[in-house]
Amino acid sequence: MSSRSLMAANWKMYKTVEQSLAYARELVRRLEEEPVFDVEQLICPTMPALYPLVQRLAGTSVRVGAQTLDLGQEGANTGAVSGYLVREAGAEYVIVGHSERRQLYGEDDTLVRDKSVAAAQARLTPILCVGETRDQRQAGQTDAVIVRQVEPVIEALASDADLVIAYEPLWAIGTGVLPEPKEANRVAEIIRQVVDRIRPNFSRQVRILYGGSVNRDNICDFAAQPGLDGALVGGASLDVGHWLQLNRFWREVRA
């Protein structure tokens, strides 16, 4: 298990370039006054804001990632943004297989696997998102879904690839309804078992995050779970003050 927590902000389709830069300026100013140690902060902005944000945060402790990528490197693919281009813009991470991509854009497990491999080949760390629907949970299929989503990625990644896995049950995203923190911890352990079955001891370097309606009221409950290494945060990351609170609460619980 990684010794350093990761807090990842997924801004989705929010914030213009100017708004993103204003956020970054305020974040850096506050971190200079009160640094958040032992927590790696990652911001995943909209694609137009990716390069400007990388430039603004250069030299700081805050990392920048992309929210998705397309397959290939260069070519006649209108509207596509490859991992190569994302990396050239300065990103270090990329979210892969987020539930909204799976549901709204039809990304299946095979495409998510291929995108994870493409990310690693572009020297990006994929944040692989996995999770079950409400119907699947009620049918007792959570573990089977997690195994099905994790296995092909671990089998396909090169042995030297970095990886983050985010458990984000689809029924919890943006709903305010969350799994019990102990249940999220149990699923994290299932993920580690799958990883180690395919690649022994690899899970020691894989950070596992929880994602889905994370906010200042529940973050401490998830931080208290030993199997979780951080959180993937949506709406609660859009305000600088709220975002820093989440990071500080996580740090205090894990201290």
> What pLDDT, on a 0 to 100 scale, did the predictor assign at position 233?
97
19-66 pLDDT, tens digit each: 999 999 999 999 999 898 889 999 999 999 999 999 999 999 999 999
Query: Is residue 247 within 8 Å of residue 204, measured between CB atoms?
Result: no
Q: For the chain, what is the mean pLDDT?
A: 95
Question: Per the residue annotation, which of 100, 107, 132, 168 is the catalytic one?
Answer: 168
pLDDT, average across residues 120-144: 97
> What pLDDT, on a 0 to 100 scale, did the predictor assign at position 74?
94
67-118 pLDDT, tens digit each: 999 999 999 999 999 999 999 999 999 999 999 999 999 999 999 999 999 9
> What pLDDT, on a 0 to 100 scale, did the predictor assign at position 45?
98
pLDDT of 255 higher than 90: no
Quote the DSSP letter at residue 144. H
pLDDT, average across residues 131-135: 94
> What pLDDT, on a 0 to 100 scale, did the predictor assign at position 4?
86
Quote the DSSP letter at residue 34. S
Cα angle for residues 95, 48, 16 (degrees, 5° grid) = 105
Report the number of distinct structural domains present in the chain: 1
Task: Give me the CATH number covering residue 158.
Answer: 3.20.20.70
pLDDT of 1 higher than 60: no
Is 98 a catalytic site residue?
yes
Query: Is residue 94 within 8 Å of residue 45, measured between CB atoms?
Result: no
Distance CA 202, CA 198 (A): 9
Question: Per the residue annotation, which of 98, 100, 107, 132 is the catalytic one?
Answer: 98
Share of the chain above pLDDT 70, in %: 99
Strands (E), the chain: 5-10, 39-44, 63-66, 93-96, 125-130, 164-167, 207-211, 230-233
pLDDT band of 174, cuts 50, 70, 90: confident
173's CB contacts (< 8 A; 6+ apart) are: 99, 100, 211, 212, 213, 234
Quote the DSSP letter at residue 67. S
Q: Domain range holding 115?
A: 5-254
pTM of the model: 0.96
pLDDT, average across residues 216-224: 97
pLDDT of 139 higher than 90: yes
Is 168 a catalytic site residue?
yes
> What pLDDT, on a 0 to 100 scale, did the predictor assign at position 3?
58
177-193 pLDDT, tens digit each: 889 999 999 999 999 99
